[in-house]
Amino acid sequence: MKILSINAGSSSLKFQMYEMPEEKVLISGVFERIGIDGSFYTIKLNGEKQKKEVVLKNHEDAVKILIKELLDNKVINDLSEIDGVGHRVVHGGSKYAKSVIIDEDVIKTIKSLFDLAPLHNPANLLAIEAFRNALPNALEVAVFDTSFQQTMEKEKFIYPVPYEWYEKYGIRKYGFHGISHNYLANRMKEILGRENFKLITCHLGGGCSIEAIKDGKCIDSSLGFSPNAGLMMGTRSGDIDAQLIPFVMEKSGMSLEEVMSALSKKSGFLGLSEISSDSRDIEAGVDKGDEKCILAQHIFVNRCVEYIAKYYVELEGVDAICFAAGLGENSIATRKQILDKLKVLGIEIDDERNNVRGKETLITKDSSKIPVWVIPTDEEVMIARDTYKLANK
């Protein structure tokens, strides 16, 4: 069975086609700058990568070209061979605790959540509609980034604000990156070899989140009502005192929209370093003695330590910790700095084992009280798995 995993942004569309249930990747790639000048796409097939410049006016253009590539490269001989298309949908609100087959009711719900995820859900829906038009006979599935966190207890997801805000407006912690955290939980269950376990997962990339997981279920998440909560990130502030928003508006003359944009797009590593949102550039600045880069790195590490320590206490101990995503999988220095600050928990990092990028490995000593792993995350395969399961129901 051939399944497409789709992750659409406002100006991008990432794809990966699998032969299921073998989980063999047949082709992958990404369309970029959709609706913007200079659009192009790259595909990876049989180990070879190609980049092609092309006009992409909208997501439908990207889908048409994708289908043509599948046919031209003999990945499929006929459209009927595509059994399912799984879509990453960022926000499912409180309604969806698992992936669902897309119907008109699901589409209405995704639309109703536009105001909770204005940058993501509209783009997700554009891709859904484009594939529905191009592949009317394929099963389409929505895999929500907020489903995994629906197992949180109310005391963990309710904010201490007027309760009617929750009832009227849905103000609560939702958590995101759920597809990734779910993958990490599943993989660590295999590594640990048991159903009952306590785990802290650290998804550290351009966006960052840490979650507390017990017996495969999320019990708490650093992300909140929006993806700009918890940890400091590439361009996002993470947790702040809400009172600074009207204060900055009054002092600077900035509008609410401008302040919120600054907190989301001009803060984090970029805001503090005034150089870059990329952790690699921050680390290079640290090596050169740049004081602002050093400050940014220290604050990021401290935030990570705070959440790991918090969840260690919530879980009453943990069986493992794991790092994933771009920064978590590749930043040797950041992992070491975080774990060195957690020595009080009995964690003993092994510098030789930690000298790894993008590879699944144990990075602590055998004597460490808590094993710490690097686990490259795989959201695409999780989307394919859920789509395959629903296609076989």
What count of Cα atoms within 13 Å lies in the side-chain half-sphere of residue 124?
Answer: 29
Cβ atoms 184, 324 nearer than 8 A: yes
- Three-class SS of residue 176? coil
**For 229, which DSSP code?**
S
User: Quick one: tokens of 52?
Assistant: 């092609």
Give me the catalytic one of 61, 83, 145, 386.
145
Torsion over CA of 159, 165, 170 and 175, rounded to 10 degrees?
Answer: -20
Note if 220 is an active site residue.
Answer: no
Contacts of 169 (CB under 8 A, 6+ apart): none
Measure the CA–CA gap between 119 and 10, rounded to whole angstroms.
Answer: 7
Token duo for residue 172 = 């609560």
Contact 312, 345 (CB under 8 A): yes
- Dist. CA 297–CA 207, nearest whole Å: 15
User: In 3D, which of 57, 140, 51, 54 has the Cα closest to residue 99?
Assistant: 140
CA distance 138 to 132: 8
> Contact 21/1 with Cβ under 8 angstroms?
yes
Annotated catalytic residues are: 145
